[in-house]
Amino acid sequence: MERNEGLSDFLRARRAAMDPASLGIHDPSPRRVPGLRREELAALAGVSVDYYTRLEQGRPITPSESVLDALANALQFDPAERSYLHAVARRQGPGRRRAPRAAQQKVRPGVHALLARLGETPAFVLGRRTDVLATNRMARVLLADFDAAPVRDRNAVRWIMLDEAARSLFGDSWEQVASVFVGTLRMDAARHPDDTRTAELVGELSMKSEPFRRWWAGQKVVRIGHDTKVLHHPIVGELTLRTEALTFPDDPDQTLFTFLADPGSASDEALTMLSSWAAEPGRSGGSRPGQAGSRPGRAESFRETGTRND
């Protein structure tokens, strides 16, 4: 039976990230590596050092639910990290069968209708491996025109890691936003460990992006929820938007994301102006992923007049 490298890498990375002093461990002797020692973590979790060592080495053993919970408590995991630990621990073990090939994801007509009804609220549906499955008109002009891109390029992590337009859009918050999406991809990879397209995506981004390699190696795990983001749009300037992530109860692999402005705020007015700009004849959306800086129009003149200045 093969080693469980996912569990091994995750435990090592999270152990190294722990601060012994914050746990009341004060050891005057120098530490060769940062974080907790194996014996310290084993003691905190109430397991033997030998057993924990075998887990961290990825040995083909299946820890019980209680052992995983004890490790999660000792490492002070949040709900996303706890869920990930249980997922990677079950990748191998007696009786585990290879998952069948996942069916192609489709967004049902009712969700497409919902996206359209959201009007001036940018919204899109994210699927497995952070593939962008559907967008409305406002999401296409606010973020990127994923619908016009090749299917392979309709992926949120690929876009945010490789497209200079995405870096410009998120500005100083790009690293924080991008690392969260990488953590979301890692969570999805644990839920679908046999997905070949996820492996291909991780391989591609590891070759092309140093930040991706660093964050992926850091084993950060994230389940996206609500947040506030500041965007720097080339047409209407700065917007402060509240994001909401709603996973469909009957399809946990599809999540609806919306960008909301406070009513009457400058960002609300900016979204209205952006909607007017997008409604002009010939406007089909923003730049395609991979086409950095290709959004047309002159931002200054539009903000001043509310119309395009050709």
Q: Containing H/E element for 233?
A: strand 227-233
Say yes or no: 160 and 20 in one domain. no
Give the model's pLDDT for residue 308. 33
End-to-end CA distance of the chain: 65
CA 26 to chain centroid? 36
Q: Which residues pair with 125 in a beta bridge?
A: 134, 256
Contact 280, 273 (CB under 8 A): no
CA distance linking residue 247 with residue 275, whole number of Å = 26
Structure tokens at 212: 């991706």
Structure tokens at 198: 């996820």
Contact 161, 131 (CB under 8 A): no
Say yes or no: 73 and 209 in one domain. no
CA distance linking residue 131 with residue 8, whole number of Å = 27
Say yes or no: 19 and 146 in one domain. no
Say yes or no: 62 and 12 in one domain. yes
CATH code where residue 70 lies: 1.10.260.40
Give the model's pLDDT for residue 22. 80
Say yes or no: 280 and 206 in one domain. yes
What DSSP character marks residue 129?
G
Q: Which domain holds residue 82?
A: 5-89
Q: Where are the alpha helices (DSSP H) in the chain?
A: 5-16, 38-45, 49-56, 65-74, 79-89, 109-117, 137-142, 156-162, 164-170, 174-191, 196-208, 210-217, 266-279, 299-305
Q: Which residues pair with 240 in a beta bridge?
A: 230
Contact 306, 279 (CB under 8 A): no
Q: Where are the alpha helices (DSSP H) in 28-144?
A: 38-45, 49-56, 65-74, 79-89, 109-117, 137-142
Q: What is the CA radius of gyration of the chain?
A: 22
Structure tokens at 114: 């919902």
Say yes or no: 10 and 119 in one domain. no
Question: Within 10 Å of residue 271's Cβ, how many Cβ atoms?
Answer: 25
Question: Within 10 Å of residue 117's Cβ, how many Cβ atoms?
Answer: 10
Whether 104 is in a domain gets the answer no
Count the domains in the chain: 2
Say yes or no: 114 and 73 in one domain. no
Query: In the listed set 55, 89, 123, which residue is the last one of a domain according to the structure?
Result: 89
CA angle 296, 302, 174 (to 5 degrees): 60
CATH code where residue 234 lies: 3.30.450.180
Structure tokens at 140: 């296409």
Give the model's pLDDT for residue 288. 67
Whether 98 is in a domain gets the answer no
What pLDDT tens digit does each residue of the chain (310 aa) get?
Answer: 577 888 899 999 999 888 888 877 877 677 777 888 899 899 999 999 999 999 989 888 889 999 999 999 999 999 889 999 998 888 654 444 555 556 678 899 999 999 999 988 999 999 999 999 999 999 999 999 999 988 888 999 999 999 999 999 999 999 999 999 999 999 998 888 888 999 999 999 999 999 999 999 888 888 888 889 999 999 999 999 999 999 988 888 899 999 999 999 999 999 999 988 877 766 656 666 765 444 444 344 344 444 333 3
SS3 of 180, please?
Answer: helix
Give the model's pLDDT for residue 300. 40
Say yes or no: 64 and 114 in one domain. no
Whether 94 is in a domain gets the answer no
Q: Which amino acid is at 98?
A: R
